Structure 1
């Protein structure tokens, strides 16, 4: 087979048909997208990423082109990529159009927080990088791990809160956080609302969650776990009174990326531990 392939390549070269080289300069737009490149062991091609690409540690050191929803055309173009891998929420659209007009291939990838869409993200990245077999292998490993995860019992009533922007928001349905709770077997107390919702102290208290789940950045912005739980509204919940707080890395909790099984295991451990939050 190798001899046949070599002979075919020789014929193509003789006919003046050059074989296209795999992408050598790649930019990732979206933390989960960039993380997939690392999971596929293809990070040597990465020359830049957006500000949400914070995992692994090496990704945080890449040259940045702004936030993936507000991409800097100048910053991206300066990296001279031959391929841009982008979440379908990346933009603005006119910025990506300008990049395409420069002759750069832009591959858009689904961002929906479902296992099916995650499979498509992984396989789409692998196909664009011309390593489809690695994509299939990663998807296979991911599904094998997911099959071993069982729902928590009894299902906890959970409020996911994000406040790293300075304004406290709760996580409703149609979000990665809601999907994480569903896969873990927990109940989202804000399931009747969609997206990220600002809410009042009274609303937080009325929801009466057993557990509060939040991100590392949100806790850091509040000054620690004690200060986070002491916020008006949260401090009146059963979760705060019993110090049932689960803190997870932002991208791990909300990225819905290739570490999904790890994220679910950590979330379930926090939901079932019943231990006081770390001070």
Structure 2
């Protein structure tokens, strides 16, 4: 009897696995290269991009993953359990293809270019997932990843939960009457600040939190001088936690430029986990909410509560 039960269990698991793989067969994905990619097999998927990995786990598809990149920090088990193909901007084609993938999901901006060219010419479907830093871009990212994996219903569940969290965030943001000016500083290199302008994840998360980017005259990241820092008049400096390499509050307060701004006067310096803050994955609304209440401590007292629909949703089946 035990043998029979075991055999039935194995047969059922095999049937489920085959059904899932078959469900992915014949799917066409229109990706960030404006190309249609045919996906026939998701059994051995490589994920390049922390947000993609996070979405796949939220959709209950971690058993399809055979490799992830170093930005796949959430959940923590991803890098512990899966082979590491390197940093998303320094991927090795041999490292990826050596895992015998049947599908590669890579976030837009992955590289280097030479590696992506090799992956594109390999006989493995490569889906380049658009990276648009907006509410709409986040929802589209979830839907595209879910579609590529043949689980549109699960993706709809996840996107609905994230949409509900974003709606709560908009209601919280509406309570802000005077936006603070936030400057996101990636690093201080030889005393010069690497700062985020428009069209960056940092710029969008600042706005989602109900604040204003103190930098409004360029796109992307740029090293700026002391005069530009003083002229921007930031109220708060925001940065990411990078362990021992993190930017330190005292380095900001004593910096010649920041010392002449409200940042130093008010000792206003915030750090948060990098993937959580800038990853633009399912937890983005919660990250923006956490940033918002740190920027505006009075929001909670005004009824600015946040009950995450994401934490209550089960989109894994």
Taking structure 2 as the reference length, the TM-score comes to: 0.74
Determine the C-alpha separation between the residues in 1 that align with 2:210 and 2:246.
28
Determine the C-alpha separation between the residues in 1 that align with 2:120 and 2:247.
43
User: Residue 134 of structure 1: CA displacement?
Assistant: 0.8
Determine the C-alpha separation between the residues in 1 that align with 2:261 and 2:75.
35
The one of 200, 210, 224 equivalent to 1:199 is 224
Q: Which residue of 2 aligns with 1:45?
A: 64
Determine the C-alpha separation between the residues in 2 that align with 1:165 and 1:131.
45
Greater mean alpha carbon deviation, residues 41-50 or residues 229-238: 229-238
Contact 1:158 1:186 in 2 (8 A): yes
Alignment of 1:29-178 (within 5 A): 29-61=48-80, 62-149=82-169, 150-151=172-173, 152-163=176-187, 168-178=193-203
Q: Which residue of 2 aligns with 1:186?
A: 211
Q: Which residue of 1 aligns with 2:237?
A: 212
In structure 2, runs of 5+ residues without a counterpart are: 1-21, 26-39, 299-317
How many residues are paired up?
256
Greater mean alpha carbon deviation, residues 26-35 or residues 166-175: 166-175
Greater mean alpha carbon deviation, residues 98-107 or residues 206-215: 98-107
Asked whether 1:221 is paired with 2:234, we answer no
Q: Which residue of 1 aligns with 2:305?
A: none
Contact 1:22 1:130 in 2 (8 A): no
Determine the C-alpha separation between the residues in 1 that align with 2:189 and 2:287.
23
Determine the C-alpha separation between the residues in 1 that align with 2:152 and 2:188.
37
In structure 1, runs of 5+ residues without a counterpart are: 1-17, 275-279
The one of 273, 283, 295 equivalent to 1:259 is 283
Q: Which residue of 2 aligns with 1:9?
A: none
User: Residue 230 of structure 1: CA displacement?
Assistant: 3.0
Determine the C-alpha separation between the residues in 1 that align with 2:140 and 2:214.
29
Asked whether 1:246 is paired with 2:262, we answer no
Greater RCO (CA < 8 Å, at least 6 residues apart): 2
Determine the C-alpha separation between the residues in 1 that align with 2:241 and 2:163.
27
Determine the C-alpha separation between the residues in 2 that align with 1:264 and 1:223.
20
User: Residue 160 of structure 1: CA displacement?
Assistant: 1.0
1:272 and 1:105, CA in 2 relative to 1: closer, same or farther beyond 3 A?
same
Over aligned residues, Cα RMSD in angstroms?
2.3
